[in-house]
């Protein structure tokens, strides 16, 4: 059961199912009741946390997901594909293209409107979803495509984290931010003392959990988005305890955290307006995710492959890079968060942005399924032909 929940296929299916369910429920007769529930505020104002249930999901629960992202990012930077600069340079450049071009498309479509600050929305790639689609339809593809996609998506997430921390910070409280740094240092010291598998570690783990919660609380009050606390905690956690934490928490993240976030984020009422009345934000996201991503990743990836080609090291073909580019258009989780941060004060545009992320990612999912299936079929046919020639 645990292996099933950990699989990229399960994560992708769970995310899509939760998002569709959220959209359906929000537009059903029980929609108003769901809206009231998500707007309800648990009685935690005494500790400075007067948040609605919806905000608890996006600010609190999603921090767990970013904690795991940071642990995976650190693993890739230390021991994975990103630990070798020669290997990392091509996906790094492709990731930059996958951010710049969609952002440029968004700015072009929304030029002259008050919505240009939403440019970060189409810059993100959903690792879980993209790997899930690749796993479902990519049987027979060379492992290099998955490695390239994983490296690109991890770097893409790193850029998204920087955008969230810098662009969406507001009224920064430097005293709270300084306190968060101190708490983070304490967490790091405790992490260095941790020895997974040894006895007598329970109190140390409890202390780390409490310090982690304090770090989150301070980051929230600093004006920096609270999910950044999860990122910081994941990066300072030593590799061995980090790996253990990732192993234990990943199933919960895949089965609960991400689906709940997808359900809550997608629970919007479809605007009763004509297509021509939709805001430029809707069209900007719908175009930038499936189109801007594939253009940016492919263009920058191909150029980087030509510039940094070295003898003795295989590189992805043009069509393989396009395949990764199409998969990169699946924004979903982080794009939904970016939309929420960008248009939190404009509910109508916020709802249109959610629908745009779902539509744009949906187009990218369908396109990815087709492209990955065709590429996998071509690779399998080529391998079978090669094997037949070898037996003659």
CA gap 386, 117 in Å, rounded: 52
pLDDT above 80: residue 143: no
Q: Is there a contact between 161 and 231 (Cβ–Cβ < 8 Å)?
A: yes
pLDDT above 90: residue 292: yes
Cβ atoms within 10 Å, residue 223: 15
Q: What percent of the chain has pLDDT over 70?
A: 93
Joined tokens for residue 101: 């071009």
Encode pLDDT of 163-193 as tens digits.
Answer: 888 888 777 888 999 999 999 999 999 988 8
Sign of the C-alpha dihedral computed for residues 81, 89, 153 and 219 taken in this order: positive
CA gap 102, 148 in Å, rounded: 20
Mean pLDDT of 377-390: 72
Angle between helices 31-39 and 8-26 (to 10 degrees): 110
Q: Is there a contact between 235 and 57 (Cβ–Cβ < 8 Å)?
A: no
Encode pLDDT of 216-248 as tens digits.
Answer: 999 998 888 888 899 899 989 988 888 888 888
Q: What percent of the chain has pLDDT over 90?
A: 33
Burial 148-184 (b: 16+ CB within 10 A, else e): bbbbbbbbbbbbbbebbbeebeeeeeeebbebbeebb
**What are the residue ranges of helices labelled H in the chain?**
2-6, 8-26, 31-39, 53-55, 62-78, 85-109, 127-137, 143-167, 174-193, 202-222, 227-236, 239-252, 258-266, 280-287, 293-307, 318-328, 333-342, 347-391
Q: What is the pLDDT of residue 297?
A: 94
Q: What is the pLDDT of residue 87?
A: 78
Q: What is the pLDDT of residue 130?
A: 86
Q: 51 or 296: whose pLDDT is higher? A: 296
In the block, residue with structure tokens 């600093």:
222
Q: What is the pLDDT of residue 124?
A: 87
CA gap 191, 208 in Å, rounded: 7
Q: How confident is the model at residue 391 (pLDDT cuts 50, 70, 90)?
A: low
pLDDT above 80: residue 160: yes
CA gap 49, 216 in Å, rounded: 11
Per mean pLDDT, which range of 170-174, 325-329, 341-345 is the poorest? Answer: 170-174
CA gap 282, 33 in Å, rounded: 26
Mean pLDDT of 242-263: 88
Encode pLDDT of 96-141 as tens digits.
Answer: 999 999 999 999 999 999 999 999 999 988 887 888 888 888 877 8
Q: What is the pLDDT of residue 387?
A: 62
Q: What is the pLDDT of residue 388?
A: 62
Per mean pLDDT, which range of 90-94, 230-234, 309-313 is the poorest? Answer: 309-313
Sign of the C-alpha dihedral computed for residues 109, 115, 119 and 124 taken in this order: negative
Q: Is there a contact between 64 and 253 (Cβ–Cβ < 8 Å)?
A: yes
pLDDT above 60: residue 60: yes
Q: How much is the mean pLDDT over the chain?
A: 86
- Total count of residues recorded for the chain: 392
Q: How confident is the model at residue 12 (pLDDT cuts 50, 70, 90)?
A: confident
Encode pLDDT of 33-47 as tens digits.
Answer: 988 998 998 887 656
In the block, residue with structure tokens 């004060």:
345
3-state secondary structure of 304: helix
Per mean pLDDT, which range of 62-76, 205-219, 253-267, 311-325 is the poorest? Answer: 311-325
Q: Is there a contact between 12 and 134 (Cβ–Cβ < 8 Å)?
A: no
CA gap 171, 174 in Å, rounded: 9
pLDDT above 90: residue 364: yes
Q: Is there a contact between 10 and 4 (Cβ–Cβ < 8 Å)?
A: yes
């Amino acid at each position: 059961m645990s292996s099933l929940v950990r699989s990229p296929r399960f994560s992708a299916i769970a995310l899509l199912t939760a998002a569709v369910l959220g959209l359906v429920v929000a537009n059903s007769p029980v929609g108003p009741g769901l809206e009231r529930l998500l707007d309800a505020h648990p009685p935690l104002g005494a500790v400075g946390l007067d948040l609605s249930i919806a905000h608890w999901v996006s600010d609190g629960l999603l921090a767990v997901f970013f904690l795991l992202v940071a642990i995976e990012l650190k693993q890739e930077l230390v021991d994975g594909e990103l630990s070798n600069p020669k290997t990392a340079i091509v996906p790094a450049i492709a990731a930059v293209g996958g951010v710049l071009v969609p952002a440029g498309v968004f700015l072009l479509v929304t030029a002259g409107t008050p919505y240009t600050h939403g440019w970060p929305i189409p810059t993100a790639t959903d690792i879980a979803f993209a790997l899930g689609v690749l796993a479902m339809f990519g049987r027979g593809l060379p492992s290099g495509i998955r490695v390239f996609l994983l490296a690109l998506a991890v770097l893409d997430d790193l850029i998204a984290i920087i955008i969230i921390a810098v662009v969406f910070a507001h009224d920064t409280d430097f005293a709270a931010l300084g306190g968060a740094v101190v708490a983070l240092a304490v967490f790091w010291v405790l992490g260095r003392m941790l020895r997974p598998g040894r006895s007598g570690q329970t109190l140390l783990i409890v202390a780390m959990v409490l310090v982690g919660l304090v770090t989150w609380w301070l980051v929230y009050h600093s004006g920096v988005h609270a999910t950044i606390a999860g990122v910081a905690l994941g990066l300072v956690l030593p590799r061995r305890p980090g790996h253990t934490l990732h192993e234990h928490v990943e199933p919960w993240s895949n089965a609960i955290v991400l689906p709940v976030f997808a359900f809550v984020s997608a629970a919007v009422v479809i605007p009763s307006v004509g297509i021509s009345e939709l805001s430029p934000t809707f069209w900007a996201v719908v175009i930038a995710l499936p189109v801007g991503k594939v253009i940016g990743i492919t263009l920058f990836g191909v150029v980087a492959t030509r510039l940094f080609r070295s003898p003795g090291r295989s590189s992805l073909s043009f069509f393989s890079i396009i395949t990764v580019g199409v998969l990169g258009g699946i924004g979903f989780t982080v794009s939904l968060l970016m939309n929420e941060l960008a248009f939190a004060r404009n509910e109508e545009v916020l709802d249109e942005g959610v629908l745009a992320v779902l539509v744009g990612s949906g187009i990218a999912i369908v396109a990815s399924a087709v492209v990955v299936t065709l590429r996998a079929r071509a690779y399998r046919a080529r391998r079978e032909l090669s094997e037949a020639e070898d037996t003659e």
